[in-house]
Structure 1
Amino acid sequence: MSITVKDVAKKAGVATSTVSRVINDHPSISEETKKKVRAIMEEMGYIPNLTARNLGKQISNAIGIILPPLDSKERLGNPFYLETIETINEEARKAGMTVAIATALDFEALLSNVKQMHRQKQVDGFILTYSDNHDPIINYLMKEQVPFTLIGQPYTHEEKITYVDNDNQLLGKQATEYLMQHGHQNILFVTNTTQENVYFERYFGYQKALMLANLPVHPAVTFQGPEDYVNFEQLLKDKKPTALVVIDDLFAMRIIQLLNLYHYQVPEDLSVISFNNSIFATLVHPYLTSIDVDVAALGKMATQSLIEKLNNNEQTSARMVVPHQLIKRETVIAIKE
């Protein structure tokens, strides 16, 4: 025979409405009563019906994870997003919540998905896993006052948004300085994205390090289409760099393959440093020197902040910075005089 709310209320000597409020952690119930009722629920083996509970509260008990438009193989296979989903899912599970994922090939379809999830009350709030210059979704969430947190630094409204990020400008600066410490003076910054804030911040850091050292600063080498891969060989011949700072590990792997195609050896001819310290960093030799951004901490803090917003039913703003760590491996060597 299944235990009901009435059974718990009878044994606890309280009204059934009191038990319901305890289940929903209502502030009107004292901590003493909550402890007493919860102890009896555990003793009797009563498990609250989350569906019924959520209907009563008009909530879904779910978190929406918004991925960026998966419009390229790099984004589709980027372990950063998979690791982020895994961490968010684990934190949500601890809080008795589930997750739903919003994804699409472009921003228009992605916005449509997010609107549907919100209007149909499929989720209570969202975690944005990226920060893009032309993102219509963040504007929608702010306009509709939908609770959300952001992994990354927003382009606008920083004072109104709760976001968790690394200090990406410092990451870019330290990656470049590490190359400089190994004698490199002619360094290029290589990227396959120019819309995401992570690119701007890391590139600014690269610029800052070189400017402070009175070394030449180059425009970012951007890969947007097939012609950029073809032109890269000539660019290397013209610029004659000794080292590259690459936007992330996955793209660094592609760049190393491209360098091999053009008969450059890493690190003998060109040193390479990248970011994220993903699984790709140690898949093949040479192992990538990379800056660990602690993806688990990013996802955990973003999820905990969103759950806190939902529990307190308030729109707050905060900036949380996750520490990083340089992982020294095989793709950076001291330059030969």
Structure 2
Amino acid sequence: MQITIKDVAKHANVAPSTVSRVIANSPRISQKTKERVRSSMEELGYHPNIHARSLANRSTQSIGLVMPSAATKTLQNPFFPEVLRGISTKAHQNGYSLYMTTGVTEEEVLSGVIEMVQGRRVDGVIVLYSREDDQVVQYLRQTKFPFVVVGKPFGDASSITYVDTDNYLAGREVTKHLYNLGHRRIAFIGGSDKLAVTQDRRNGYATALMEAGIPVCEDYIARAEFMTKGGAKAVRELLQNEEPPTAVVVSDDMMALGVISTLSEMGLKIPEDVAVVSFNNVYIAEHSNPPLTSVEINIFGLGFEATNCLIEQISDNAPPYGKRVIVPHYLVVRQSCGQKKSKATETLESNS
């Protein structure tokens, strides 16, 4: 016997129209009622005909995901599987499937997004990065298609809905943490200058140095790919300085792993010779050797909140701008940055 909307309505003690609105994820229905109706649907084994409803509503019940580069390469960084977990959790709760771009170059990614939009393959798009002069964001703004950016957009951020960490504040805090441990020669390793996350974390780093009365030295700033080999190459360059840094702020945990392994290969001790702090606090941070001090940015929450914002846009037929969600962060202190010995302490130990 086929279960109908009327059966679900009777079981949940609501009107059939309410069940239809719950299926459509209408914002007019309270969360409590939605949960009761969905529980009845699950208990009765009712599965709405998504294809028929999509045709009627001109809805695809799909969300497009735009990666910063080829998915096969991007997904090697643990940040992206975790942000995708947050996205998929919220999407599943609301009956949405996911549709991912597969382009390698920026032009191919843009072409994929245009096909998504013009072919009505998705109801909205989540852009999983924020890059200067990005053609994808420009196109989505021009077409007024629902979209959300993970990361603070360049230019007029108030005109775009986005979800982010306060990366400027986080960069400032970790640099102050190293300064308070006694470090004065503090370097920074970031990704591309075209990425908002790099600029914000570097600016926070620079502010903390200036507040401490330490000049910002370009020789202590390196740029690299968000991969272990990027971190390895960058730290080798930094150690070529006549006065090499005693501490390094690294903009990504994967890069930091490359930094740590390279320092070890060079016979340097962490944190005795060089302290290391990083961002994202992915699972590898806790299991590195030594365990990595890292900023917990709640990557899952970034994906979950971005999807929530996008579904709100789609459901309310609202314009794709005007909302900002900042996900809280905090520093997880581990063994990769310890107390730096003062000259006086070193002298006492050498004489004992």
Indicate conservation of the 8 Å contact 1:164/1:298, yes or no: yes
Gap change, CA 1:312 and 1:250, over 3 Å in 2: same
Q: What corresponds to 2:146 in structure 1?
A: 147
Query: Residues 95-118 of structure 1: CA distance to partner in whole angstroms, max 9, x if unpaired?
Result: 111111123222111111111122
Q: CA deviation at 1:152?
A: 0.4
- Alpha-carbon displacement from aligned partner over 1:155-184 (angstroms, at most 9, x marks no partner): 023121111111100010001000011000
Which residue is equivalent to 1:323? 328
- The 8 Å contact of residues 176 and 245 in structure 1, kept in 2 or not, is answered as yes
Aligned 1:180-195 pairs, distance under 5 A: 180-195=179-194
The one-letter code sitting in structure 2 at the alignment partner of 1:90 is: T
Give matches, 1:45-194, under 5 Å. Answer: 46-70=46-70, 75-194=74-193
Q: C-alpha distance in 2, partners of 1:300/1:18?
A: 26
Q: Which amino acid aligns with 2:182?
A: G
Query: Do the aligned partners of 1:293 and 1:325 also contact (CA within 8 Å) in 2?
Result: yes
1:256-304 Cα offsets, whole Å, 9 max, x none, are: 2222233322212100000000112023310000010011211111111
Aligned counterpart, 1:258: 262
Instruction: Rate the CA distance shift 1:236–1:26 in 2: closer, same or farther, 3 A.
Output: closer
Tell me the residue number matched to 1:199.
198
Aligned counterpart in structure 1 of residue 302 of structure 2, from 287, 298, 305: 298
Q: Counterparts of 1:71 and 1:239 in 2: how far apart (Å)? A: 39
1:213 maps to which residue?
Answer: 212
| Structure 1: gaps spanning 5 or more residues | none
Amino acid in structure 2 at the alignment position of 1:306: L
Match of 1:229? 233
Q: Counterpart of 1:171 in structure 2: which amino acid?
A: A
Asked if 1:281 is matched to 2:280, the reply is: no
Rounded Cα–Cα distance in structure 2 between residues aligned with 1:267 and 1:198: 26
TM-score, normalised to structure 1's length?
Answer: 0.86
Match of 1:333 in 2: 338
Residues in 1 aligned to 2:214 and 2:61: alpha-carbon distance in whole angstroms: 53
CA contact (8 A) 1:246 1:272 kept: yes
* Whole-angstrom CA distance in 1 between matches of 2:318 and 2:134: 24
Cα deviation digits, residues 222-263 of structure 1 (max 9, x gap): 23699x938935744423211000011100101122222333
Q: Is the 8 A contact 1:102 1:110 kept in 2?
A: yes
Looking at structure 2, the residues matched to 25 and 279 of structure 1 have their Cα atoms a distance apart, in angstroms, of: 34
RMSD (Å), alpha carbons: 3.6
Q: What is the percentage of aligned positions where both structures have the same residue?
A: 39
Question: What TM-score does the superposition give when structure 2 sets the normalisation length?
Answer: 0.83
From the superposition, tell whether residues 42 and 280 of structure 1 become closer, same or farther in structure 2 (CA, over 3 Å).
closer
2:255 is aligned with what amino acid?
Answer: F
- CA drift of 1:212 comes to 0.7
Residues 19-38 of structure 1 aligned to structure 2 (within 5 Å): 24=24
Between the two proteins, the alignment pairs up a number of residues equal to 333
Instruction: Give the residue type in structure 2 aligned to 1:54.
Output: S
Q: Which amino acid aligns with 1:222?
A: R
- Structure 2 unaligned runs (5+)? 344-352
Structure-1 separation of matches of 2:293 and 2:38: 51
Cα gap change, 1:272 to 1:72, in 2 (>3 Å): farther
Distance 1:76 1:193, change over 3 A: farther
